[in-house]
Structure 1
Amino acid sequence: MALLDIRHLTIDLKTPNGYVRMIDNVNLTLEKGEICGLVGESGSGKSLIIKVICGMERDDWIIKADRFRFDNVELLKLSRYQRRKLIKDDISMILQKPRESLDPSETIGKQLIRCIRFTGKWWKYIGWKKKKAIELLHRVGIKDHNSIMNSYPIDLTNGEAQKVMIAMAVANKPRLLVADEPTTMMEPTTELQIYRLLSSMNKNLGTSILLASNDILGIHKWVDSFNILYCGQNVEIGAKEQVMANPYHPYTSALLHSVPDFSQPLPFKGKLNSLKGATPTLSHIYAGCRMGRRCPFAQKQCIVKPPLHRIKQREFACYYPLNFQGNKQLQQIQSTPIFTNE
């Protein structure tokens, strides 16, 4: 049984011109003990999905889903108190902007100690939380713990604030850890240390991790599967090895080839591999496949949203997939005319 099971999630956001469907029938499944990479460029809807999972949605959002279960509990049917209690005990989140999540009026030490749940014997209570806080800071790469614990959020760099947020998130060993680009603005050595920490939690404690990132090549060593989004739509879902070796969707292929191959000399003033255009804004979301205007393989068929095809544990939403040896059902869908002359 999956730990997190989401089916046909839709999120409508309020704009000056009315409600716009930003998240359009997204599916997401996370097995127990799995690390799933939620990948997509900025504006793909990763943070919106994460906020809904962690109960941080706004009152004016319209959220619907055929299934939104955490450990077989339907989250959207719980009251706010019940959902908050469940999330507090079993789900932790690493936010993308740590400074906005820290209390500017309290020291880091007080905030970190408050997040730690006491699990020892009652006679060990005095000083136990402080020792645990120091241990957590060391685990995330902070050596000078005295300076950090006596500092206020304004005194920290962006990297230090992110490390503190990670320490708070992993303090109580959650069953599900949701990380929204946890290594933003970190140096490569610290980034590697953070990924190793998350990986060790997954292996030693069985923590399931949903890792959101826009760098598919940067996280592929640490995840078990990929769920790739484009502008609020699923484009491809599958195991890491299969997606990396044989991408079906043109957007997945573009992400994999977006980083230059520095093992070979680059031509002088050579063009980098990138998709033309940009992700559409809320006021300019297209009908059908939302990548249609940027896709080099788009045809008339793409003005209708492609269904999510499932073939051998792989899912993709494209009428003209790459690296795909024909399927009768898919060929039948492709041959169906969109327009009819009456």
Structure 2
Amino acid sequence: MPLLDVRNLTIELDTPHGRVPALEQVSLTISSGEIHGLVGESGSGKSLLAQAVMGISDNRCHITADRLSWDGQSLLGMSSRERRAIMGRDIAMIFQEPTSCLDPAQPIGKQLSEGMQLAPEELKGLWFWQKRRAQRKHIVNWLHKVGIKDHESIMESYPWELTEGECQKVMIAMALSNQPRLLIADEPTNSMEANTTAQIQRLLVKLNQLHNVSILLISNDLESMANHCDKLTILYCGQTMEAGPMEKLLERPHHPYTHALISNFPQFSTEIGHKEMLPTLAGAVPALQHLPIGCRLGPRCPQAQKTCVKTPRLKVAKGRSYACHFPLNKTKKKKDSKHDGTA
């Protein structure tokens, strides 16, 4: 049984132009100990999917799904109190904009003390001053793990006095300290320098390998996720383009969009001429109010034909799924030859 099971999730948003679909029939499953990547351009609905799982969507969102369950329990049928208990204990999230998630009127140290509580069994038998000391040691230990060395200055500062990268590190420390069963990381290394990015990625992999923490890693950088994820789901304009095991998907992509993302990996082994154009996919992501009919990638797809005005259904085969009328790297089935019965 998967830890997280999402089937045909649809999210519609209320806008001045009426209700528009931001996610359509998206399915996702995450097993215990799995690192699942979620890739897509800005506006593809990655963060909306994460917020729907966490139950923090606002009144503008209208969520429907055939199934949205956590460890066999339906999240849609839970009360807000039951859902908060699961989110605080079993599921944690690293948000994309940390400055908007921290209280500007409270120092960082106080917010860390509230969000990084030790378990009751770890405090059992300690006096009250020993509990405070153990709590502070726990906070400092996790701040050091995420790359914060001057913890005294950080804990005494307010969020608006820190850089966006420092706020992101604080949010990562709060999310990882309770060692949840599922960690949703929405671009966790955004606005960080290269050394800190590598450190955070190693920390996430270590948590996954040593503590069996499942991770939903959300990003728009397919190249950086290729080294860490077991499975991958690619979104475009709120629709699933392709999903499957990372290695097979990179070796033989079936969807033209996946092929375009892989083809646009930077090639450092080849020389680039002066003012030479880098490989890109022509066009831009359409606005939600002006989505094309049929396949959302149709106006930009180099393989598009007349049939693409019809929405392709999601085809599933051998653990992989894709939504395309003209898939790539598909071997045609050979017809059985007819024998005349002679030896």
TM over 0.5: yes
- Cα separation, 1, equivalents of 2:123 and 2:170: 26
Structure 2 counterpart SS, 1:290:
coil
In the TM superposition, residue 159 of structure 1 has moved relative to its aligned partner by: 0.9
Superposed displacement of residue 253, structure 1: 1.1
Identity over the aligned pairs, expressed in percent?
Answer: 48
The answer as to 2:145 corresponding to 1:135 is no
Shift of 1:259: 3.0
Q: Which runs of 5+ in 1 are unaligned?
A: 329-342
Which ranges in structure 2 are unaligned for 5 or more consecutive residues? 335-343
Tell me the distance in 2 between the aligned counterparts of 1:188 and 1:253. 27
* TM-score normalised by length of structure 1: 0.94
Higher radius of gyration, 1 or 2: 2
**Contact 1:118–1:125 (Cα < 8 Å) also in 2:** no
Q: Distance in 2 between matches of 1:59 and 1:163?
A: 30
Question: Matches of 2:157 and 2:132 in 1, distance apart?
Answer: 22
1:218 and 2:224 correspond: yes
Is this contact kept in 2: 1:44–1:229, CA < 8 A?
yes
Q: 1:249 aligns with which of 255, 261, 266?
A: 255
2:272 to 249, 266, 279: 266
Matches within 5 A, 1:1-342: 1-119=1-119, 120-122=122-124, 123=126, 124-326=130-332
Residue type at the aligned position of 2:156: N
Instruction: Give the letter aligned to residue 210 of structure 2.
Output: N
Question: 1 CA distance for matches of 2:278 and 2:317?
Answer: 32
- State the shift of 1:269 in Å: 2.8
Give the CA deviation at 1:90: 0.7
Taking structure 2 as the reference length, the TM-score comes to 0.93
SS at structure 1 position matched to 2:76? helix
Amino acid at match of 1:121: L
Q: How far off its partner does 1:118 sit?
A: 2.0
Tell me, what secondary structure is at the counterpart of 2:104? coil
- 1:221-244 per-position Cα deviation (integer Å, ceiling 9, x unaligned): 111110110010001111110011
| Amino acid paired to 1:67 | R
> 1:89: Cα distance to partner?
1.2
Q: Which moved more, 1:173-182 or 1:279-288?
A: 279-288
- Shift in Å, 1:268: 2.9
Aligned residue pairs total: 328
* AA in 2 matched with 1:212: I
* Amino acid paired to 1:103: D
